[in-house]
Amino acid sequence: MSRQGRPQDTRKVSGELFSLTYGALVAQLVRDYEKDEEVNQQLDKMGYNIGVRLIEDFFARSQQGRCHDFAQAADVLTKVGFKMFLGVVPTVANWSAKGDEFSLILDQNPLVDFVELPETHQGLLYSNIICGVIRGALEMVQLEVKVWFVQDQLRGSDSTEIRVKFLKKLEDAVPAGED
Amino acid sequence: MAAVCVAVISKQNFPLYLRSVNPQNEADLQFQYLVHASIDVVEEKVSTLGTPKAGQDPREHYLGLLYPSEQYKVYGYATNTRVKFILVVENTTSQSRDTEMKMLFKNLHVAYADMLCNPFYTPGQKITSRTFNNAVSSIFQMSKGFTSKE
């Protein structure tokens, strides 16, 4: 399943460089598209494309086994996934009664270090790329989820909350002989 | 010494930001005049920065007192990118200290750098950032704290 024994990558990129690069990307998208909704959609799409690739890197580096339920998946997503790629560990909270929906609470979002949303773009979901990454990555492990922003620090909330809803298990996607 | 006006001036000497303590005050226009008049002095001081005299830190951005008027004193600070910060303080009898002024300018510089990192800000635009505004407010507050000293 994973490329075993890959040496730990010690190369690090400065957090500021990372957030400035992402900022330049979003600012360019905002210039290219007319509506904020379209930008949000583009970010989600980019995130999805990153996610479906990033999951391989994730397994190669973490040697993570299979998760048995959604709660465990949430745990791995936050404690291993977010920590590995963003350097923060969000809190998992607000589980729905059925256990198919939870929230990721980010006290600190490394993407938004210097950002201030302009008055004219209040509909912009600046960090929407994260939603796409989660959706793409989980789809590769046969979990179809819906991910969306509930609140965003950039819009004046205290913390950033991302909602993840489990839709269905993608049984068909499992290649023969995998189980 | 209470700071009454903060201004940021771009490399090409046009104003990026100007704010006084009481924005509704009629003195606003006077501040614009004061800041505008100070640009000449700034230019003069900046041109000598390139050839540092002995015993002078070549990285020194602080330009010191530009000129005193009856009511106010005008201080200047220029970054290496030639963005200028101007502080107008009330002209009181108490001597203002350079170290205090330097600290205010240092804070302003940091706030400016953070503001510049916002991807939605295009360099050369008027500064409308809320966080920068807050930083300037705290500079006004801080300068009031210095009054208690001699």
Task: Report the Cα–Cα distance between both ends of chain A, in Å, rounded.
Answer: 12
Residue A142, burial from CB neighbour count under 10 angstroms (0-12, 13-18, 19+): middle
* Residue A66 banded pLDDT, cuts 50, 70, 90: confident
User: Chain B: residue nearest A31 by CA?
Assistant: B120
Partner residue opposite A118 with nearest CB, options B117, B120, B131: B120
Nearest-CB residue to A26 (from B115, B119, B131): B119
Q: Is residue A161's pLDDT more than 90?
A: yes
Interface list for A 12-31 with B (CB within 8 A): 16, 20, 23-24, 26-27, 30
**Whether A20 and B119 lie within 8 Å, measured CB to CB:** yes
- The predicted pLDDT at position B48 comes to 75
Rounded distance between C-alpha atoms, residue A140 and residue B10, angstroms: 50
Neighbours of B140 (CB within 10 A): 18
pLDDT digits (tens, 9 = 90+) for B73-98: 899 999 888 899 999 888 776 666 78
Supply the pLDDT for residue B147: 56
The alpha-carbon gap from B119 to the nearest alpha carbon of chain A, in Å, equals: 5
Instruction: Enumerate residues 6+ apart whose C-beta is below 8 A from B37.
Output: B67
What distance in Å separates residue A123's CA from the closest CA in chain B? 14
Q: Which residues of chain B have pLDDT under 50?
A: 148-150
Chain A CB contacts of B121 under 8 Å are 116
Q: What is the CATH number of the domain that holds B69?
A: 3.30.450.70
Could B119 and A24 be called an inter-chain contact, meaning their C-beta atoms sit closer than 8 Å?
A: yes
Contacts of B66 (CB under 8 A, 6+ apart): B38, B41, B42, B45, B74, B75, B76, B86
ipTM of the complex: 0.72
Give the separation between CA B32 and CA B27, rounded to whole angstroms.
9
**CATH of segment(s) A15-115+124-169:** 3.30.1380.20
How is A87-135 classified by DSSP, letter by letter? S--PEEE---TTSSEEEEEES--GGGTT----GGGTT--TTHHHHHHHH
Q: Number of structural domains, chain B?
A: 1
